[in-house]
Structure 1
Amino acid sequence: MGQGVLTKPILPRLRHFLAFGAPGITVYACFVLAPIVVSFGYSLTNYNPFSPPAEYVGLRNYRLLFQDPEFLLSLRVTTILTAIVVVVPNVLGLGIALLLDRRGWFYNALRTVFFTPVVLSTVVVSIIWIRLMADDGLINQALRGAGVDDPPGWLSDPAYALYSLGIIMSWQMLGFCVVVYLAGLQGVPHDLREAAAIDGAGPVARFRHITWPMLAPALTINTVVLLISAFKIYDHVQVITKGGPGAGTTATVAYNVIQTGFTANRQGYASAMAIVMLVIIAVACAVALRLLQRREVQL
């Protein structure tokens, strides 16, 4: 009798779960979990579609990976690029959001202008910046007009190419950060800021003690999204630099995964790269979330 009473409320909930949750779980399992499992399986083999059959090699691909100078260089390149893309749009996006946190059609128009690059195709953005940063492009023409005799080759010089790529990605992601910070600013109580101003707190003190703490959730969202976007960058590299100039100057881990898997046809080795990249992204995001959400809780 007791079991029947306990079972009755569970059955409707189970039916509701199967009706509403099962489709989403099925899609997630088919398009996210299954590819990860298959990729991990390939990473344990020397799979080459043009040289069957595949042989089981265990963890050999992973051991070779961390002895591979090309992979280690791509890991360094990706880390530098990620640091640029996480910091620059966050800092500039916050500053621009503070300037645009006003009413009026002019500020609404500016918000649209800043958000436009986010919705543009990566290929379109890349082609625009290739023209701007070419040796005879608009930027270098402006520098020559300003008296700089020998402007740098933004995309052709190995000393500048990686940082130029970081600037391009930061420019495209800037509008996303602006919108998220603007949404956060809308949630800061106006009465609280007015009370602080009446008590004699200046703009810097109001920002430090009221606005900035209440933007913690917006900072968390921006940081995690930028972290994921930057670490898996491929499109910009393929269109703008193709991993150059020079040997692997701008070749990211994701770029090397595609090149190794589909150009060199070493899909077992490329799968090992992809799994390592997945683990790094997952760990980095988990650490960032834990640190940033702890700050939210403390507030």
Structure 2
Amino acid sequence: MTPRSRPRGGGRRPVALGRLGDFALFATPGLVLYAVFVLAPVVMTVDYGLTNRNPFNPPVRFVGLENYRLLFHDSDFLHALRNTLVITVIVTVTANAGGLAIAHLLDRRGWIYNALRSVFFTPVVLSAVVVSVIWQSILSDDGLLDSLLRDLGVHHPPGWLSDPSLALYTIAWIVTWQLLGFCVVVYLAGLQGVPKELHEAAALDGAGPFQRFRFVTWPLLAPALTINTVMLLITGFKVYDQVQVITNGGPGSGTTSTIAFSVVQTAFTDNHVGYASAMATVMLVLVVCLSVVVLRLLQRREVTP
């Protein structure tokens, strides 16, 4: 072995250690922030859910799974779970369908289409509270929509927010309206990634517009469908702002209450922090399980051009 070959062989370890040190230098701040603001709250929530924690009624006692046993016999929580599932299903289906239809219409060149894309995406960047206030003023009994209907001859317009049979679906519509632009952008990206050669080849084979969409475009939009469905599913489960601002859980008793709304009310109004933490843990488990299942199912049909 020559003298020159020794520094080469011996220099590998310092280079590797140097790269590891650089990685640790850049990754540590992010990992620390993730641990402090994500992992630690999750662990604390699970821990609180096993106790009877109440800041105004000490001492704290370990109660095990008692909170979870009570949850699944609590009619208010089960009603909130049902409302959450209804909102999630409506938002996921309608936002996906509407986003795909609008994206197909906007998949053209021209300044007017670029402007329309910005218009549809604007609600996404607005605060949910701002959107809720706007729609509350439009849909209230003396709001813009009912006033317009009265001018058109409808003497008894629907109570969009005051009718218990309509209020939940109104909330779902507002959430859908705000998320529609996100779906449009994702589907537009997917449509613009479909090779034109495939459409031309299908047209030469005699395929019509519907057949080209069914057998060429739709399979290649599978990744966009996966992204939109998972995002909408997660957003639907954590709906809170719209319920708090527009209906405050009403009209009536818990008509539009969701799990997220029930968690906040139970923890900060009723001060039953342990019970609310058990609710939050159940919501977290449901979101994770459903997201994983949906992600696995949708990824199976993904193809590449």
TM bucket (normalised to shorter chain) is over 0.9
Q: How many residues align?
A: 298
Paired residue for 1:37?
43
- Which stretches in structure 1 are left out of the alignment for 5+ residues? none
Paired residue for 1:178?
184
Distance change >3 Å, CA 6–CA 276, structure 1 → 2? farther
Give the drift of 1:16: 3.5
Q: Does 1:280 align with 2:283?
A: no
The 1-side partners of 2:262 and 2:237 are apart by 12
Q: TM-score, normalised by structure 1?
A: 0.94
Give me the CA root mean square deviation: 2.0
Structure 2 residue aligned with 1:157, among 149, 152, 163? 163
Paired residue for 2:222?
216
Moved more, 166-175 or 22-31: 22-31
Paired residue for 1:78?
84
- Which stretches in structure 2 are left out of the alignment for 5+ residues? 1-9
The 2-side partners of 1:64 and 1:218 are apart by 40
- Aligned partner of residue 152 in structure 1, secondary structure: coil
Q: Does 1:23 align with 2:29?
A: yes
Q: Which has the larger radius of gyration?
A: 2
Post-superposition, which runs of at least 4 consecutive aligned residues in structure 1 deviate over 4 A?
Answer: 4-10
Fraction of identical pairs, as percent: 64
The 2-side partners of 1:276 and 1:17 are apart by 36
Deviations along 1:153-192, whole A, 9 cap, x unmatched?
0000000000000001000000000001001111001121
Deviations along 1:18-69, whole A, 9 cap, x unmatched?
1232222221111111100111111111111122221111111111111111
Paired residue for 1:189?
195
Q: Is the CA contact (8 Å cut-off) linking 2:80 and 2:259 kept in structure 1?
A: yes
Give the drift of 1:276: 0.5
Distance change >3 Å, CA 214–CA 297, structure 1 → 2? closer
Give the drift of 1:146: 3.8
Q: Is the CA contact (8 Å cut-off) linking 2:220 and 2:303 kept in structure 1?
A: no
The 1-side partners of 2:219 and 2:15 are apart by 43
Q: Does 1:122 align with 2:164?
A: no
Which residue identity does 1:63 align to in structure 2? R
- Aligned partner of residue 302 in structure 2, secondary structure: helix
